[in-house]
């Protein structure tokens, strides 16, 4: 149920409502999102108000009915609309709710469903507006990428096995998939790529498409969720039996054309393809001496007749990079590989850019590529899966980190260019197709993500993809009220704890922009500052006995800072204007370098690690305040996880502090690290 629990309101509050029925205008079949909206309202209002609400076609008692309609059906019935309602209903997926008249209108079928969920959300939180309200998404692309493998495992999966696949095929029972589509729709998400970007060619076998992929699409469609597929570039060779997968080979082009047609036979509204190519050992156009654009455009041409899009990932980099060359820098890769191709991509290619230049670290600057493509459309990629962020064994609320990205001003051509505006059709580049995707690893675990508190991240992601200007704390409080109840003690406790969680995690893992400092060779979990350097993965810190940090300046370093537009470039080029929290991302400094705070870098490391770990130590005690206020099963489950996290934070603290103490030989002013 997650946040769709529809917990009952206190009786005296519920008594204020007189809803008995739901009435729909127009006719809609069972697979329409309008029908889902009606089912959701009947179920939700009944539970929240503790009454039995039913669907009726009798329009004589509208005063006690929720009236649900697509705008055109509402107008056809002789009604009129206010200018404010029209503002929202003029946009795809927009909705308008009038709580007084209990009227829910959508600009289209999906809009109706989103309006129904918005109404139910406010009703369940006890915060139903007394005046009419509307909303519309800032961006059309609001997607999820699952990294599910066909054998049922999930790459970076910490919430159980795949909901979609098992034993090389799509599972029989898709009831959890349906529940997932409901959750997605309730936060405004409208698309999902169901398989790992490290894609298995056999996904495209006729059996898998007709028996499996089609059923997944049919299951999610009533919730306004469309599916897309991640493809393996070499499929023509490995599955199709061709000699090559060269994107300019006529046979390969024809093969993709036919294959795409075959997919659309089964899934006529398929979104398109996501491509990870020439990345981490995956094949791609470069393997055939072709450009990335030639590779992307091959898929684009196959998809164009069906209105589909290629989401071509910008996560292309050399993972055998030589650290002995001080100019080498993995962070440069996205712009180096893609920026010069801005004019070369077909119209239905969208470049999918991870939010930071490296890889979902605890803190990164915004990927400069988001301000360097103009003609070519882009979407941002976030990660709800906590790969580097405690892997859902730690509670870490990520929305505050995402906000540092979304609210950042890229100063394109010297003008205001917030990332959240760039990712909107009404933004500086006017991309009609743009927005958001996030890697999510929901699995068969009853908690979905392996940790009840991790669900705040999924909730906030969907809500931010719809309204990127929303506040991290506001979204968290909504989620808490829906998930845990409206008791103010519960809302305060959960809210304060989770708002502390990203800063605390950063404090006891990697500070000052040095990256997360977890093991990067195998697990991406737990402290291992030594693992960053001495290998080709390029997540280097260049720590030695004198200092640490990557010199990414144009003047003396890798030149990365020069990938930004001039105002941002000069902000990061100069050590004086670089914010402390990204200092080591952009500059190599001695351990004794003095920060803006007045502390040395090394003392900051020690202090932050002790403070961060101390904050995490408070979590189990703070959670105790919820005993008896939430159900025992979830209370115990979270309590157990928080106690584990408190212990692991100490492991983090001591490993990182001792590592840098040994390397630098500099003692802790407060005599906690070292021998005294
Ligand atoms: O962060 C890395 C992960 C890989 C992942 C890759 C990617 C799917 O460690 O597991 O592969 O990113 O985003 O493609």
- For the segment 205-245, what is each residue's pLDDT rounded down to a tens digit? 999 999 999 999 999 999 999 999 999 999 999 999 999 99
Confidence of residue 63 (pLDDT cuts 50, 70, 90): confident
Statement to judge: residues 260 and 191 lie in one domain: yes
Q: How far is the CA of 521 from the centre of ligand 1 (A)?
A: 12
Residue 60 has pLDDT above 80, yes or no: no
Statement to judge: residues 291 and 364 lie in one domain: yes
Q: What pLDDT, on the 0 to 100 scale, is given for residue 80?
A: 96
Task: Give nearest CA residue, ligand 1 atom 14.
Answer: 197
Confidence of residue 57 (pLDDT cuts 50, 70, 90): confident
The CATH number given to whatever domain includes residue 117 is 3.30.379.10
Pocket probe for ligand 1: among 198, 388, 523, the residue whose CB has the most ligand atoms within 8 Å is 198
Q: Are 502 and 400 in contact (CB under 8 A)?
A: yes
- Among the candidates 116, 135, 154, a domain finishes at 135
CB of 156 closer than 6 angstroms to any ligand 1 atom: yes
Residue 148 has pLDDT above 90, yes or no: yes
Q: What is the mean pLDDT of the chain?
A: 97
The CATH number given to whatever domain includes residue 651 is 3.90.1330.10
Q: Please give the number of the atom of ligand 1 that sits closest to the Cα of 279.
A: 14
Structure tokens at 65: 């009915």
Q: What pLDDT, on the 0 to 100 scale, is given for residue 496?
A: 98
Statement to judge: residues 475 and 433 lie in one domain: yes
Confidence of residue 61 (pLDDT cuts 50, 70, 90): confident
Q: Are 437 and 194 in contact (CB under 8 A)?
A: no
Q: Please give the number of the atom of ligand 1 that sits closest to the Cα of 439.
A: 13
Q: How far is the CA of 510 from the centre of ligand 1 (A)?
A: 20
CB of 74 closer than 6 angstroms to any ligand 1 atom: no
Q: How far is the CA of 279 from the centre of ligand 1 (A)?
A: 9
How far is it, in rounded angstroms, from Cα 601 to Cα 375?
42
Catalytically annotated residue among 280, 544, 624, 636 = 280
From the list 31, 107, 37, the residue with the least C-alpha distance to 66 is 37
**Any domain includes 558:** no
Q: What pLDDT, on the 0 to 100 scale, is given for residue 140?
A: 98
CB of 198 closer than 6 angstroms to any ligand 1 atom: yes
**Any domain includes 267:** yes
- Among the candidates 83, 118, 135, a domain finishes at 135
Q: Which residue range forms the structural domain that includes residue 595?
A: 508-550+588-664
Q: What pLDDT, on the 0 to 100 scale, is given for residue 58?
A: 76
Task: Give nearest CA residue, ligand 1 atom 2.
Answer: 359
Task: Give nearest CA residue, ligand 1 atom 11.
Answer: 198
Helix, strand or coil, per DSSP, at residue 308: coil
Helix, strand or coil, per DSSP, at residue 193: strand
Strand partners, 313: 352
- Number of structural domains found in the chain: 3
DSSP character string of 558-623: -SGGGGS-HHHHHHHHSTTTS-GGGHHHH--EETTPBPTTS-BHHHHHHHHHHHHHHHHHTHHHHH
The answer to whether residue 280 is catalytic is: yes
CB of 147 closer than 6 angstroms to any ligand 1 atom: yes
Exposure pattern of 555-568 as b/e (b: 16+ CB <10 Å)? eebbbbbbbbbeeb
How far is it, in rounded angstroms, from Cα 228 to Cα 296?
16
DSSP character string of 320-389: T--TTSTT--GGGHHHHHHGGGTTTS-TTEEEEEESSSSSS-SS-PPPGGGGT-SSSEEEEEEE-S-TTT
Chain centroid to Cα 143, Å, comes to 8
Crossing angle of helices 472-484 and 488-508, in 10° steps, is 130
- Among the candidates 469, 484, 499, a domain finishes at 484
Residue 674 has pLDDT above 90, yes or no: no
pLDDT in tens, 540-577: 999 999 999 999 999 999 999 999 999 999 999 999 99
Q: How far is the CA of 637 from the centre of ligand 1 (A)?
A: 29
CB of 359 closer than 6 angstroms to any ligand 1 atom: yes
Statement to judge: residues 473 and 545 lie in one domain: no
Q: What is the mean pLDDT of residues 605-625?
A: 98
Q: How far is the CA of 541 from the centre of ligand 1 (A)?
A: 20
Q: What is the mean pLDDT of residues 21-28?
A: 95
Structure tokens at 310: 């290629």
pLDDT in tens, 499-550: 999 999 999 999 999 999 999 999 999 999 999 999 999 999 999 999 999 9
Residue 192 has pLDDT above 90, yes or no: yes
pLDDT in tens, 626-660: 999 999 999 999 999 999 999 999 999 999 999 99
pLDDT in tens, 86-132: 999 999 999 999 999 999 999 999 999 999 999 999 999 999 999 99
User: What is the sign of the dihedral through the CA atoms of 493, 181, 135 and 56?
Assistant: negative
Distance (Å) of CA 357 to CA 14, 380, 418, 667: 50, 12, 17, 33
The answer to whether residue 323 is catalytic is: no
The answer to whether residue 387 is catalytic is: yes
Statement to judge: residues 160 and 126 lie in one domain: no
Q: Please give the number of the atom of ligand 1 that sits closest to the Cα of 147.
A: 8
Distance (Å) of CA 265 to CA 209, 211, 214, 303: 9, 13, 9, 13
Q: Does ipTM surpass 0.95 in this model?
A: yes
Q: How far is the CA of 631 from the centre of ligand 1 (A)?
A: 36
**Any domain includes 82:** yes
pLDDT in tens, 575-607: 999 999 999 999 999 999 999 999 999 999 999
């Amino acid at each position: 149920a997650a946040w769709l629990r529809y917990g009952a309101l206190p009786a005296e509050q519920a008594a204020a409502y007189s809803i008995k029925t739901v009435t729909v205008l127009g006719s809609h079949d069972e697979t329409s999102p309008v029908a889902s909206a009606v089912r959701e309202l009947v179920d939700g209002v009944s539970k929240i108000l503790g009454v039995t609400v039913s669907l009726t076609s009798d329009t004589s008692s509208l005063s006690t009915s929720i009236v649900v309609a697509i705008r055109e059906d509402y107008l056809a019935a002789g009604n009129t609309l206010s200018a404010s309602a029209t503002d929202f209903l003029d946009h795809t997926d927009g909705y308008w709710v009038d709580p007084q008249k209990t009227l829910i209108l959508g600009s289209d079928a999906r809009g109706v469903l989103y309006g129904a969920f918005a109404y139910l959300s406010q009703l369940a939180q006890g915060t139903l507006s007394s005046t009419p309200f509307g909303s519309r998404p800032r961006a059309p692309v609001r997607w999820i990428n699952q990294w599910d493998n066909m054998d049922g495992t999930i790459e970076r999966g910490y919430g159980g096995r795949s909901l979609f696949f098992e034993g090389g095929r799509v599972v029989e029972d898709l009831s959890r998939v349906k529940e997932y589509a409901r959750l997605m729709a309730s936060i405004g998400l409208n698309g999902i790529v169901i398989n790992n970007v490290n894609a298995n060619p056999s996904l495209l076998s006729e059996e898998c498409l007709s028996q499996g992929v089609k059923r997944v699409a049919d299951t999610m469609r009533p919730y306004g969720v469309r599916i897309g597929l991640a493809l393996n570039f070499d499929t023509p060779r490995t599955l199709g039996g061709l000699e090559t997968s060269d994107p300019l080979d006529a046979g390969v082009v024809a093969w993709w054309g036919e294959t795409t047609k075959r997919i659309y036979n089964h899934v006529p509204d398929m979104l398109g393809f996501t491509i990870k190519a020439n990345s981490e050992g995956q094949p791609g156009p470069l393997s055939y001496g072709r450009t990335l654009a030639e590779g992307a455009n091959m898929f684009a041409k196959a998809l164009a007749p069906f209105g589909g899009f290629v989401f071509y990932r910008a996560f292309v980099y050399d993972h055998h990079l030589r650290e002995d060359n001080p100019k080498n820098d993995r962070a440069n890769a996205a712009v180096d590989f893609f920026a010069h191709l801005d004019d070369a991509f077909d119209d239905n290619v969208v470049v999918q850019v991870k939010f930071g230049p490296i890889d979902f670290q605890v803190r990164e600057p915004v990927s400069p590529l988001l301000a360097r493509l103009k003609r070519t459309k882009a979407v941002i990629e976030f990660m709800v899966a906590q790969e580097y962020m405690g892997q859902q064994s730690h509670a870490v609320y990520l929305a505050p980190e995402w906000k540092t990205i979304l609210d950042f001003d890229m100063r394109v051509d010297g003008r205001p260019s917030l990332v959240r505006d760039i990712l909107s059709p009404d933004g500086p580049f006017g991309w009609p197709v743009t927005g958001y995707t996030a890697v999510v690893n929901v699995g068969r675990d009853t908690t979905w993500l392996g940790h009840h508190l991790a669900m705040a991240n999924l909730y906030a992601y969907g809500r931010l993809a719809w309204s990127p200007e929303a506040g991290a704390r506001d979204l968290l409080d909504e989620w808490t009220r829906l998930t845990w109840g409206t008791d103010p003690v519960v809302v305060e406790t959960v809210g304060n704890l989770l708002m502390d969680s990203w800063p605390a995690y950063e404090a006891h893992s990697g500070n000052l922009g040095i990256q997360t400092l977890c093991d990067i060779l195998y697990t991406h979990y737990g402290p291992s500052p030594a693992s960053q350097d001495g290998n080709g993965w390029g997540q280097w810190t260049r720590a030695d006995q004198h200092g640490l940090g990557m010199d990414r300046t144009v003047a003396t370093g890798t030149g990365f800072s020069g990938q930004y537009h001039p105002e941002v470039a000069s902000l990061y080029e100069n050590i004086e204007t670089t914010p402390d929290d990204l200092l080591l991302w952009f500059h190599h400094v001695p351990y004794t370098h003095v920060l803006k705070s007045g502390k040395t870098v090394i003392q900051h490391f020690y202090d932050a690690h002790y403070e961060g770990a101390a904050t995490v130590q408070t979590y189990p005690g703070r959670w105790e305040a919820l005993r008896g206020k939430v159900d025992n099963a979830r209370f115990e489950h979270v309590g157990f996880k928080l106690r584990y996290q408190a212990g692991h934070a100490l492991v983090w603290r001591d490993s990182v502090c001792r590592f840098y103490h040994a390397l630098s030989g500099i003692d802790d002013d407060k005599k906690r690290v070292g021998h005294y």
